[in-house]
Amino acid sequence: MLVLGVESSCDETGVALYDTEHGLLAHALYSQVEMHAEYGGVVPELASRDHIRRVLPLTETALKEANKTLQDIDAIAYTQGPGLSGALLVGTSFAESLAFSLQIPTIQVHHLEGHLLAPLLEENPPDFPFVALLVSGGHSQLMRVDGVGEYELLGDTLDDAAGEAFDKTAKLLGLGYPGGPALSKLALSGKPRFKLPRPLLNSCDLNFSFSGLKTSVLTLTNQHQPLDDETKADIAYEFQEAVTEVLTTKCMKALRETGLDNLIVSGGVGANAKLREKLNVATKRKLCTVSYPRLEFCTDNGAMIAFAGAMRLKATHGGNKNYGFSVKPRWNLAELLKP
Domain ranges across the chain: 2-116+297-336, 128-292
Q: Does 128-292 match 2-116+297-336 at the fold level?
A: yes
**Rounded to an integer, what distance in angstroms lies between the CA atom of residue 332 and that of residue 139?**
12
Specify the fold of 128-292.
Nucleotidyltransferase; domain 5 (3.30.420)
Specify the fold of 2-116+297-336.
Nucleotidyltransferase; domain 5 (3.30.420)
| pLDDT at residue 308 is higher than 90 | yes
Helices 229-258, 211-223: crossing angle, 10 deg rounding: 160
Q: Which amino acid is at 314?
A: K
- Give the H or E element holding residue 96: helix 85-102
∠ CA 19-22-23, nearest 5°, is 65
Q: Are strands 12-19 and 2-7 parallel, antiparallel or unpaired?
A: antiparallel
b/e for 287-318, b at 16 or more Cβ within 10 A?
Answer: ebebbbbeeebbbbbbbbbbbbbbbbbeeeee
CA distance to 66, 172, 266, per residue, from 186 (Å): 39, 13, 23
- pTM, two decimals, is 0.93
**pLDDT above 70 as % of the chain:** 98
Q: What are the tens digits of pLDDT across the range 257-293?
A: 999 999 999 998 999 999 999 999 999 999 999 999 9
DSSP 150-210: EEEEEE-BSSS-HHHHHHHHHHHTT--SSHHHHHHHHHTT--S------TTTT-SS--B--
Q: Which residues pair with 289 in a beta bridge?
A: 262
**Rounded to an integer, what distance in angstroms lies between the CA atom of residue 219 and that of residue 196?**
10
- CA nearest neighbour of 6 among 121, 90, 128: 90
Residues in the chain: 339
**Rounded to an integer, what distance in angstroms lies between the CA atom of residue 293 and that of residue 184?**
19
CA distance to 130, 150, 172, per residue, from 251 (Å): 11, 19, 28
Which span out of 72-76, 125-129, 176-180 was modeled with the highest average pLDDT? 72-76
Contact present, 265 and 133 (Cβ < 8 Å): yes
Q: In 207-292, where does DSSP find H-type helix?
A: 211-223, 229-258, 273-285
Instruction: Give the pLDDT band (50/70/90) at residue 52.
Output: very high
Instruction: Give the pLDDT band (50/70/90) at residue 339.
Output: very low
Instruction: Give the pLDDT band (50/70/90) at residue 317.
Output: low
CA distance to 13, 43, 81, 231, 266, per residue, from 9 (Å): 8, 13, 7, 36, 17
**Rounded to an integer, what distance in angstroms lies between the CA atom of residue 270 and that of residue 139?**
12
Question: Sheet holding 262-266: strands in order across?
Answer: 150-155, 140-147, 130-135, 262-266, 289-291
DSSP 23-47: EEEEEEEEE-HHHHHTTTS--HHHH
Instruction: Give the pLDDT band (50/70/90) at residue 325.
Output: confident
**Rounded to an integer, what distance in angstroms lies between the CA atom of residue 243 and that of residue 270?**
12
Q: In 288-339, where does DSSP find H-type helix?
A: 302-316
Contact present, 236 and 217 (Cβ < 8 Å): no
**Rounded to an integer, what distance in angstroms lies between the CA atom of residue 219 and that of residue 206?**
27
Instruction: Give the pLDDT band (50/70/90) at residue 337.
Output: low
Q: What are the tens digits of pLDDT across the range 210-242?
A: 999 999 999 999 999 999 999 999 999 999 999
**pLDDT above 90 as % of the chain:** 86
| pLDDT at residue 112 is higher than 80 | yes
